[in-house]
Amino acid sequence: MTQKTWLAQFVLAFGMFCLSIAAHAVVETQKLSSPELDARYRVLIEEMRCPKCQNQNLADSDASISSDLRREIRRLLEEGFTDEEIVDYMVARYGDFVLYRPPVQKNTLILWLAPGVFAVFGLLALIVIVMRSKSGTGARQDDGSGELTDDERRRLKQLLGDGAVDEGNSGKEGK
């Protein structure tokens, strides 16, 4: 098999794979009995997370469990349940994880506090970095003249050798 033939077969197989994924997308055709119920249904399925996908809401997920949950939500709405009752029902079955915005409780407190704590630490780190750069901590204090101090000249002489630094030139170029 030549390389071109292999590449053509790979591209064809990949294209068929991509099309097969699109064929599994969910298109809901079932309508609720009233526009008000339909509006509530849309809000509920967008606010609840798919237990399998974990990063998609029920409206976007094409997993079979999401389809079952959407069907269950439609049934509960038609039976006259309130939004709060439906949410409570789903939480009782799947836990707080099914909600994109879980309630503030002991077990979810870290989810609510962590972003603020990280932002405060980041802000403090930024303030410390800016203050250190303004005060010159850890760096040589410069008087703006560009000349070396006597100690710096002596140290430079030691590092480069005895005749390497011109004493009268203060370390500036210009031979």
DSSP alpha helix (H) spans, the chain = 3-23, 35-47, 64-78, 83-94, 109-135, 150-160
The CA-based angle 121-122-123, given to 5 degrees, is 90
Residues 7, 4: Cα–Cα separation, whole Å: 5
5 vs 171 pLDDT, higher one: 5
Whether 34 and 73 share a structural domain: yes
Question: 48: which DSSP letter?
Answer: B
Residue 139, pLDDT > 90, answer: no
Name which of 102, 120, 99 is nearest 110 in CA terms.
102
Local confidence band at 142 (pLDDT 50, 70, 90 cut-offs): low
Claim to verify: residue 91 and residue 17 sit in the same structural domain: yes
pLDDT of res. 20:
56
Specify the pLDDT at position 126: 94
| Within-domain flag for 140 | no
> Per residue in 94-133, is it b (16+ CB within 10 Å) or e — as a string?
beeebbeebeeeeeeeeeeeeeeeeeeeeeeeeeeeeeee
- Concatenate the DSSP letters of all residues of 129-175 into one string: HHHHHHHTTTS----SS-PPPHHHHHHHHHHH-TTSS-GGGTT----
Question: What integer is the mean pLDDT of 87-95?
Answer: 90
- What percent of the chain stands above pLDDT 70? 76
Does residue 165 sit within a domain?
no
pLDDT band at 141 (very low <50, low <70, confident <90, very high): low
Any domain includes 53: yes
Q: Which residue has the higher pLDDT, 12 or 23?
A: 12
Measured distance CA(162)–CA(160) in Å, rounded: 7
| Residue 114 and residue 95 in one domain | no
Total domains, the chain = 2
Q: What is the pLDDT of residue 9?
A: 78
Stretch 19-38: mean pLDDT, rounded? 65
Cα distances (angstroms) measured from residue 146 to each of 70, 115, 132 = 73, 46, 21
Range of the domain at 50: 8-102
116 pLDDT higher than 90: yes
Q: What is the pLDDT of residue 174?
A: 45
Verify that 48 and 98 share a domain, yes or no. Answer: yes
Q: Helices 64-78 and 83-94 sit at what angle, rounded to 10 degrees?
A: 140
Element (H, E) at 100: none
pLDDT for the residue numbered 96: 81
pLDDT of residue 167: 52
For residue 29, name the pLDDT band (cuts at 50, 70, 90): low
**pLDDT average, residue stretch 93-119:** 84
Average pLDDT over residues 42-52: 89
